[in-house]
């Protein structure tokens, strides 16, 4: 009576395992990109809400600009919160840096850390030059409030070169031009 496995049996089991792994890896990668996409949509909504809250807090001042996928504390750590509302003059400063949202506590940099996206706050009174700020929606078009584009680590579908972007309009609905 023989004990153990033959070389052919072991090779066959390894082949089956390799086939299973080759089918599982792309599915796992796809799920990871879907998780990034969902987190980016949540972060985008937080960014839109923070922008709106800052506008109300400062009695009419707006924030502009954008940031890359990981706005680390070191980037915005030197920014101090300008209490524009303390002057009592609405819109004492028409536009301030996006760092004010982090410095004044409207946003936490941890909500954006590690996301393979670049975020931009779209202007309403000045020319719009970046792709996520294109007006979306039906008739009338939804004015884009904030937008995000994927970088090279966002998956092939989500890269900026593919034209993928997501945005939040003034109606606070997340729009995705790929859905």
Please tell me whether the peptide bond between 140 and the residue prior to it is cis, using omega within 30 degrees of 0. Answer: yes
The percentage of the chain sitting over the pLDDT mark of 70, rounded to a whole number, equals 66
CB 132 within 8 A of CB 170: no
CA angle 63, 65, 71 (to 5 degrees): 105
Tell me whether residue 81 is exposed, middle or buried, using C-beta atoms within 10 angstroms of its C-beta: 0 to 12, 13 to 18, 19 or more.
Answer: middle
| pTM score, whole prediction | 0.72
> Given this model, what pLDDT does residue 13 score?
95
Domain tally for the chain? 1
d(CA 167, CA 174): 6
> Given this model, what pLDDT does residue 74 score?
52
Residue 121 lies in a domain: yes
> Given this model, what pLDDT does residue 128 score?
41
Residue 81 lies in a domain: yes
Range of the domain at 77: 7-176
Give strand pairing partners of 146: 121, 168
Any idea of the CA torsion for 43, 48, 51, 57, to the nearest 10 degrees?
-100
Residue 134 lies in a domain: yes
Residue 67 lies in a domain: yes
Q: What is the mean pLDDT of the chain?
A: 75
Number of neighbours of residue 21 by Cβ within 10 angstroms: 10
């Amino acid at each position: 009576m023989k004990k153990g496995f033959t070389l052919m049996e072991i090779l066959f089991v390894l082949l089956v395992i390799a086939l299973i792994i080759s089918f599982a890896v792309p599915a796992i990668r796809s799920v990871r990109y879907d998780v990034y996409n969902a987190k980016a949509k949540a972060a985008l909504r937080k960014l839109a809400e923070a922008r709106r809250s800052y506008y109300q807090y400062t009695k009419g001042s707006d924030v502009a600009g954008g940031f890359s996928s990981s706005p680390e504390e070191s980037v915005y750590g030197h920014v101090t919160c300008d209490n524009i509302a303390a002057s009592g003059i609405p819109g004492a400063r028409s536009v301030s840096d996006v760092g004010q949202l982090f410095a004044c506590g409207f946003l936490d940099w941890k909500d954006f850390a590690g996301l393979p996206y670049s975020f931009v706050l779209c202007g309403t009174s000045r020319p719009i030059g970046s792709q996520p700020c294109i007006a979306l929606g039906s008739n009338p078009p939804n004015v884009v409030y904030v937008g995000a584009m994927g970088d090279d680590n966002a998956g092939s579908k989500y890269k900026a070169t593919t034209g993928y972007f997501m945005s939040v309009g003034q109606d606070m609905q997340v729009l995705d031009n790929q859905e």
